[in-house]
Structure 1
Amino acid sequence: MELDLPEILPQQILIQVKAASVNFPDLLMTQGKYQHKPDLPFVLGMEGAGIVKAIGSEVTKFKEGDEVTFGSWGNGAFSDYVIVPENGPQLKSKNLNFEEAASFQTAYMTAYVSLVRRGELKPKESLLVHGATGGVGMAAVQLGQKMGANVIATGTSENKL
């Protein structure tokens, strides 16, 4: 499906998508089971990575050509281009390629909010991660280790543990 790009607003950024990841909510959206039900037609893709192609007149954090990672609510990352607010994207680490960067936000932010904001995990505490071989589980293990927790991991794939 071809869609015309809308004009970007003063605090928005136009990103050319180079890679996008598939997340469980994408599957739920195809079945109409996700808590956010976008109007039809919509494009799937909750997160991605790409290159800033244009910025709104009030954008100060980014410039054209910046490589970024982004979450994309209601403006699917499975598109060639997305428009997001300035406060959404982050600069892509030079250590990550676009494919790696595209799969960062959902898993790591879910794990981060669970461990830091909700769980208030402290160094030397024990952290049990069930499902440590999935995306969010692997992120929780890595973040827990970085935070100095004693991490215990379970999962179905022995080679990933």
Structure 2
Amino acid sequence: MEKTVTVSVFTENSIGMLNRITIIFTRRHLNIDSITASESEMKGVFRYTIVLRTTLEKVNKVIGQIEKLVDVLKAFVHEESEIVHQEIALYKIRTNTLTNGDVERVIRENHARILTVDPEFMVIEKTGHVAETQLLFESLKPFGILEFARSGRVAVTKPMKELSTYLKELEQLS
């Protein structure tokens, strides 16, 4: 049965790594819903957080292929219950919609915040899960959204050894 899974891939920082990882998903006809890349807690180790809807069987095959790539240190699959995650969304709306308190009420009700106010526009930030950022999007539609951007998932796992522990285990196997 298909479900939303989060894949964490830890790699060395090398040119073309993201492309090599995403090609593996493409070959298996798996669509990536979001992808985020950043440095990890260890110097020189980068983390890719990839979200997709698929079966555990398919994603485990992909993980096996990813771990065969040069410069990949370790890859993990996490189900929703195993992670804590957030996304950030930015909404740009016209400033002239501030004439009544409706926009401010919507912002407050959605626990969002105003980042900047310009004579022409304002930028609102909302951190949360996709459903929460989408709800604010729908609530702001009547005020005229000029731009909208949502990040990919940023996630940390609940039950996991520290990455340094896995790396030490890998060194011992070599």
TM range (shorter): under 0.3
- After TM superposition, the score normalised by the length of structure 2 is 0.25
Q: Would you tell me which structure has more strand in proportion to its own residues?
A: 2
Q: Would you tell me which structure has more helix in proportion to its own residues?
A: 2
Larger radius of gyration: 2
Higher RCO, 1 vs 2 (CA within 8 Å, ≥6 residues apart):
2
- After TM superposition, the score normalised by the length of structure 1 is 0.27
